[in-house]
Amino acid sequence: MSQGKSILQAQNVSVEFKAQGGRVLKAVTNVNLELHRGEVLGLVGESGSGKTTLGRALIRLADLSNGTVHFDGSDISTLRRNDLRAFRRRVQIVFQDPYGSLNPRMNVGAILEEAITLTDSKEAVDARTVELLDLVGLPTESRSRFPHEFSGGQRQRICIARALAVRPEVIIADEPVAALDVSIQAQIVNLLQDLQRDLKLTMLFIAHDLAVVRHISDRIAVMYLGRIMEVGPANQIVFSPAHPYTQALLSAIPVPDPTVKPNRQILEGELPSPIDPPSGCVFRTRCPLADAACAKQIPLLEARSDGRMVACLKA
Amino acid sequence: MITLTSVIGNALGDIYSFQMESTTPLLHIEGISTVFSTPEGEVKAVDGLNLVLHKGETLALVGESGSGKSVTCLTIMGLLPSTGRVSEGKIWFEGRDILQVSAKDRRRMCGSDMAMVFQEPMTSLNPLFKVGTQIIEFVRYRRGMTQEAARKRAKELLDMVRIPEANDRLNSYPHELSGGMRQRVMIAMALAGNPKLLIADEPTTALDVTVQAQILELLRDLQKELGMAMLFITHDLGVVAEIADRMCVMYAGQEVENGPVIDVFSRPLMPYTAGLIRSVPTLTGSPASERLYTIPGQGPKPGMVLNGCAFAPRCDWVQESCRNQKVAMEVAGNRSFRCLRAKELAAS
């Protein structure tokens, strides 16, 4: 897992949506995040934390209201025509729902051909189709079949093959295994891990399941209500979380071992509305450590001596 | 907040929880098969299932999509759609064969003897009516209370499921509540008739993990206080380990393993169970550098007729006899399993 310098860089990124009554929903607020070349960065958070929106902002599928995203040195908001096309080839996304992201009227061969011809010649389509199907563990005969003939796990393999068709350098995987059964989930996680290693991909793995994220990631970033709470090496985040939210999130995960009686710290309440987020630290309304200072001051994501970054006044 | 005991009127819960084993089981399912008619003919969704659930006990029904666990719940509740029917077997509730009772009596049992909580609370609540209206309607229908008494009871129920400011919440519409709050409302409605059996079908699957922890704690506490038995359907082995006393693993419509949770996790007697347990990534488990264990292939399509063990095509332990003979459930003490090589598996 050799890690190079940063390939994708978010600086002070905010994404806002218009909500009813002229109000503004802050999906992502002032996020700074770097994706290093060759690494797997896990992005975790609960629903409404902004992890999907951040993933989309990184590849220009969501408009920024503030901040910049740089890919390989250039600001992606300034890319036009050929440069934008090149960027789209180099960065691909795999979505959560393999049912909704494949055209039901095209067979697998046609789906892949569409992607392959973006980078390769017509003559190469045949060989490349066989190669891609093999890469994701599907039989060659799959090419003449339609999406509905496949199971959820197989459809996700087709989506991965399509993403790989343009030989990307970066894959944004947005909850790629959330819709799959346990036994199939493990197959897809292994596949992504193998592909990442063999093709030297850089991957942003977005998920709510910390156990899966820890398994596949080199580093983990934890989001809450649009902000990054903590970023650091995967084992550090899981075994010695610094931010009280990370701690609570970890302790809430049911342990698949009946002999372990978890020492659980149950958070009160639920995620506040992103339309009207709390002042100061957004987590303070549920935080066991919060005091008056947390309501006044927004904690910055600051580097700690142990190599991680934490946004908390108390921890 | 009003204590549960005062709500219920007496402390039956304590009596219930110490009556396991000795008496007639609360729920006894004997060789139940449920079939659905489809354009391609009849498809068996549940195939000869046997289950025993005692008072105050929690049984987890575990399986992947299509394993028949949700159909099992609908069969018990008598909520099968018109295309489905029970083709064989019996369901005893407190010693009474509930497949033989009249439709009217069956309806009466739903809600008072047994109640169900579904996975998606938003689709189970009517979006056009206030939460309070829906609970009050249900309470009045069940118990013939006056509007005023029913409103008071509705508030008590919301207190019971720890919804803050219950009086205000009665005037909320479902869309004004968060997912966790909606699920609490569904649990409150399920508890309205003081059920002896609560069937919970993936009640936390649609919720975030911190909210899931709240709901699991709530269900555990309520069960202890009310002495209910719980049939808890889930695909999440972490949730099983946390909430259940016993577990029944289903595969392709059949039970394949049944036993106390602690024993099944430490020594599974069926390769499918073993595979499921091994394929779940854990926070403290195998390091990231290792591959996850996977069960190869995928489950059989519904309606596929198999000669041997349904799991044989995916099984690491398969031998010739597994493919060409039906494998029966075998009982050993408090465990049962469907595998010809269970002894070798246990010894491995």
* pLDDT tens-place string over residues B178-207: 888 999 999 999 999 899 999 999 999 888
Determine contact, residues B245/B21, Cβ cutoff 8 Å.
no
* Cross-chain residue pair A252–B180, CB shorter than 8 Å: no
Asked if residue B257 has pLDDT above 90, the reply is: yes
State ipTM.
0.83
Per-residue confidence at B288, pLDDT binned at 50, 70, 90?
low
Determine contact, residues B184/B163, Cβ cutoff 8 Å.
yes
Quote the minimal CA–CA distance from B100 to chain A in Å. 36
Asked if residue B304 has pLDDT above 90, the reply is: no
Determine contact, residues A8/A185, Cβ cutoff 8 Å.
no
Quote the minimal CA–CA distance from B70 to chain A in Å. 15
* Cross-chain residue pair B280–A250, CB shorter than 8 Å: no
Q: How far apart are CA B268 and CA B253, in angstroms?
A: 19
Option in B64, B209, B265 nearest A182 (CB): B64
Predicted local confidence at residue B7, as pLDDT: 38
Option in A234, A248, A259 nearest B210 (CB): A248
Asked if residue B89 has pLDDT above 50, the reply is: yes
Asked if residue A3 has pLDDT above 60, the reply is: no
Per-residue confidence at A1, pLDDT binned at 50, 70, 90?
very low
Predicted local confidence at residue B212, as pLDDT: 92
Which residue on chain A is closest to B261 by alpha carbon? A258
Determine contact, residues B236/A254, Cβ cutoff 8 Å.
yes
Dump pLDDT digits (tens) for B4-23.
434 333 333 333 444 444 57
Predicted local confidence at residue B86, as pLDDT: 96
Option in B64, B211, B282 nearest A211 (CB): B282
Residues of B in contact with A260 (CB under 8 A): 241
Residues of A in contact with B209 (CB under 8 A): 46, 208, 210, 249, 252-253
Determine contact, residues B84/B70, Cβ cutoff 8 Å.
no
Secondary structure (3-state) at B35 = strand
Dump pLDDT digits (tens) for B309-340.
999 999 999 999 999 999 999 999 999 999 99
Option in A216, A253, A256 nearest B277 (CB): A256
* Cross-chain residue pair B241–A267, CB shorter than 8 Å: no
Quote the minimal CA–CA distance from A256 to chain B in Å. 4
Query: Which of A110-119, A163-172, B104-113 comes out lowest in average pLDDT?
Result: B104-113
Quote the minimal CA–CA distance from A295 to chain B in Å. 22
Option in B180, B235, B283 nearest A211 (CB): B283
Question: What percentage of chain A exceeds 70 in pLDDT?
Answer: 99
Residues of B in contact with A190 (CB under 8 A): 291-292, 294
Predicted local confidence at residue B12, as pLDDT: 39
Residues of A in contact with B235 (CB under 8 A): 181-182
Predicted local confidence at residue A179, as pLDDT: 83
- Across all residues in chain B, what is the average pLDDT? 88
Predicted local confidence at residue A278, as pLDDT: 95
Asked if residue A311 has pLDDT above 50, the reply is: yes
Predicted local confidence at residue A19, as pLDDT: 86
Dump pLDDT digits (tens) for A205-215.
999 999 999 99
Model confidence, pTM: 0.87
